[in-house]
Amino acid sequence: MTMQTAAKPEPQRGAGRRELPRELGGKLQRRTLMVLSTATILGGLGFGASASVGALLLAEVSGNDAISGLAAAMSNAGAAAAGIPLARIAARRGRRTAVVLGSSIAMLGALIAIFGASIWQWWVLALGIGTLGVASAVQLLSRFAATDLALPQNRARDLSLVVWSITVGAVVGPNLMGPGAIVGDWLGVPPLAGVFVFTFLAQLTAVLVNFFGLRPDPLLTARELQAAADAARPAGSPETTAEVSASRRAKVLTIVIIGTAQAIMVGLMAMTPLHLKHHGGSDALVGITLSMHIAGMYALSPLFGLLAGRIGRIQVIVGGWVILLVAIYFAYLSGENSVYVQIAMTLVGIGWSAVTVAGAALLTELTALAERPKWQGRADTFMSASGAAAGVLAGIVFAMSDFSILALVALAVLALGAIASMYPKLRVARQH
């Protein structure tokens, strides 16, 4: 890595001038990635399982299809509520403490969901789903933790590897409805609620993996090494007021881009199970469709990470918008055609992956190490809040119309993200 001097200013002086030693790309970073990936696989199992049954179980317990949209809304609301607090804990006490606490709260959420279903109180079930949503905040935090010790040119790749790790559990999760029904029957709770037992066990194992494995803490270690590196070099020239303002706008717009992709994904995904059910789809069809969607979300993330590092973050984001546009087209045409629904939801996952992986890497690149937890927490909170709002809106739109109208609403949201991507400052962010 070539160091820049104060005499040669660069577009993002505050964010990119002072980097960590090249040695961090070695053994310690590989070990950190392995721990984060293992815990994320387990967390993904819980996410996939709960995502597959949340809407169906809420509709069953409440007797109201419109309330089913609260599953995605509450899950994202829980993640949104946890995003900034977990980021603050990470900033003060390290990533390890934050992810362990978050997964522990998610365990409690799984128990609340089981209890709510067992007493047939939909609002208790929704509360449990919301508390379980903290697991999503942990996954988001983990992907940023993968960049703490990464070399600049490897940040997008390392981040995407942790995102990819969600694939294993997330794809298996929706297909646990059958085994979950057996467990639910054994426990004397509604069959679909049995899936949350697997979620509880997955989160418990993730807690243990992170607690014992995430040592030394990546963020605290990066800070120590950064301080030592800063002490050994002369200070660079400070940013001007105009540069600070432009940098802040770039960060805010990057967060908007990430949140927009999340809103599109959640809005369409939340109503897919009911749309398929209304047209005679079986539980197996719902499970397979959601598995294809979740595979699209995570399976190609390493590819998008590599592309973001080689051709540019914004280029990958624009490619993601194009994929999402095609997905919305198939969703609009789907009607009773379950194959079109599967194509649409798979492409929604792929487009979401491209935008969020490149967007997270771009935000990290735009932000100095000392400020990363704060801005990353804001991004995670806005991303989850966008998903929560989309889940509520999707339930209302779907109850009043159909899946094709919901697709048109998603198209309007996509336009917002595409406009935000045009900000020139995003294109001059360092791509190495």
Domains in the chain and their CATH numbers? 22-230+240-427 (1.20.1250.20)
Q: Is 193 exposed, middle or buried (0-12, 13-18, 19+ CB in 10 A)?
A: buried
Confidence of residue 1 (pLDDT cuts 50, 70, 90): very low
324 or 80, which is more confident: 324
Helix intervals (H) in 214-337: 218-231, 241-278, 283-298, 301-310, 313-334
Q: Which of 63-67, 259-263, 320-324, 363-367 has the lowest mean pLDDT?
A: 63-67
Angle between helix 27-62 and helix 283-298 axes, rounded to 10 deg: 150
Distance CA 248, CA 367 (A): 9
Report yes or no: 154 and 33 within 8 Å, Cβ to Cβ. Answer: no
pTM over 0.75: yes
SS3 26: coil
For the CA atoms of 35, 37, 42, 44, the dihedral, rounded to the nearest 10 degrees, stands at 150
Q: Which of 161-175, 319-333, 377-391 has the lowest mean pLDDT?
A: 161-175
Mean pLDDT of the 350-379 span: 90
Mean pLDDT of the 346-356 span: 95
Q: Is 409 exposed, middle or buried (0-12, 13-18, 19+ CB in 10 A)?
A: buried
Report yes or no: 177 and 332 within 8 Å, Cβ to Cβ. Answer: no
Distance CA 79, CA 104 (A): 14
Nearest to 146 by CA among 301, 352, 319: 301
pLDDT, one tens digit per residue, over 45-72 is 766 666 667 877 888 888 777 677 677 7
- What is the maximal distance between C-alpha atoms in the chain? 71
Nearest to 128 by CA among 117, 119, 141: 117
Distance CA 348, CA 321 (A): 10
Looking up tokens 């047939």 gives 120
